[in-house]
Amino acid sequence: MAILGTGAMARYLAYHLDAIHPWIIGRVSPPYQIMELGRSHQVVQPAYWGWDTLPPHPPDIVLLAVKWRGLSTAQRWIAQHAPQSVVISFMNGMGQEEILHELPHVVLAMGITTTAITRQDDNIPTIRIVSRGSTVVPHVADARLDVLKTYGNQYHWGWQWVTPGRMQNLRWQKLVQNSIINPLTVLANCPNGELIRHPLWQLAQPLTDEASPVARAEGTAIPSDMLARVARLLEDTRDNWSSMAQDVHAGLPTEIDAINGYIVSHARRHHLLVPTHEALTVLVSKLGQG
Ligand SMILES: NC(=O)c1ccc[n+]([C@@H]2O[C@H](COP(=O)([O-])OP(=O)(O)OC[C@H]3O[C@@H](n4cnc5c(N)ncnc54)[C@H](OP(=O)(O)O)[C@@H]3O)[C@@H](O)[C@H]2O)c1
């Protein structure tokens, strides 16, 4: 099994799945230090290859854990080294499947995780697990995934395997959640916990109201208590800077096109108006070159 990416999510997956010895592919080589409040710090050292190194054999399973700006590199790697693998994506936003469908023999499974992890690259590459959430993956009938299911039960990873319909609903919920938290924390320039007290929080309601009909037109439903859920998440991760805010601070392109931009492009398909999402997509794109 290969994890693509060596950032926060990739290191977390390498730690989480250490028992099944995944490889990690990317730019920052292990060891990685794992820090979590209330637990002793641990170090993981998965087998590592750079993007341009030939792995010893094609992996059966690829876990996709790059930012959107790295997706073309990951796609090339899969095309060269794992063209018949099962690819499970943990990337935020939606639309990866439309891009990865260009790889005709790959089996795609779009997962999500609500665990929050931050990355720190000082002396030793480190991650801090800010809050533990759940990891949900669609049930795909492919025997190569049995290793994940078996070891998951044995090591109590607690991954949930759900039907594709349920998965699509959870992905839309996460998309709407991200479409509120990410751009608003960028524009408010604040950590998650401060957003609820910031005047920009007033945009959370129109963002939800605009996205809900788009989700409905796509065949799924956003729960009526979405704003309360987002508020709880902001509180649980109160000291955390959102991933989009971190990208803007680092002068890097953001994932806005795959989050609010995805809602805008799908609203157009259904002739629906999403002016607040449109405005935020433009504003954040200007800030983060996204
Ligand atoms: N962190 C979380 O709590 C969390 C939670 C849920 C979902 N996610 C999602 O998981 C995905 C990965 O996020 P992350 O938090 O791991 O971000 P990250 O720490 O910034 O790591 C991003 C990874 O993408 C790679 N990358 C970026 N640009 C690239 C390029 N042009 N070519 C090749 N590789 C490139 C980075 O490589 P370098 O190291 O070389 O820069 C790194 O391996 C994102 O879609 C994010 O939204 C994250």
Q: What is the pLDDT of residues 159-199, one digit of tens each?
A: 899 999 999 999 999 999 999 999 999 999 999 999 999 99
Which one is predicted more confidently, 41 or 270?
270
Atom of ligand 1 nearest to the CA of 11: 16
Task: Please give the distance, rounded to the nearest whole angstrom, from the Cα atom of residue 116 to the centre of ligand 1.
Answer: 13
Q: Residue 8: CB within 6 Å of ligand 1?
A: yes
Residue 244's DSSP bridge partners are none
Instruction: Give me the pLDDT at residue 158, please.
Output: 78
For ligand 1, mutation pick of 243, 247, 252, 256 (most atoms within 8 Å of CB): 243
Task: Please give the distance, rounded to the nearest whole angstrom, from the Cα atom of residue 238 to the centre of ligand 1.
Answer: 21
Give the Cα-Cα-Cα angle 278, 183, 195 (nearest 5 degrees). 130
Which run of H or of E encompasses 69? none
Q: Residue 174: CB within 6 Å of ligand 1?
A: no
| CA pair distance 216, 173, nearest whole angstrom | 12
Q: What is the pLDDT of residues 160-169, one digit of tens each?
A: 999 999 999 9
Which run of H or of E encompasses 166? helix 164-188
Task: Please give the distance, rounded to the nearest whole angstrom, from the Cα atom of residue 112 to the centre of ligand 1.
Answer: 14
Other C-beta atoms closer than 10 Å to the C-beta of 118 total 17
> Please, what is the average pLDDT of the chain?
94
All domains of the chain, ordered by start, with CATH?
Answer: 2-162 (3.40.50.720), 166-288 (1.10.1040.10)
| CA pair distance 121, 33, nearest whole angstrom | 10
> Which of 36-40, 94-98, 135-139, 193-197 is least confident?
36-40
With cut-offs at 50, 70 and 90, classify the pLDDT of residue 15.
very high
Residue 168's DSSP bridge partners are none
Q: Is the pLDDT of residue 267 over 60?
A: yes
| CA pair distance 66, 83, nearest whole angstrom | 18
Q: Is the dihedral of CA 164, 170, 175, 178 positive or negative?
A: negative
Instruction: Give me the pLDDT at residue 181, please.
Output: 98
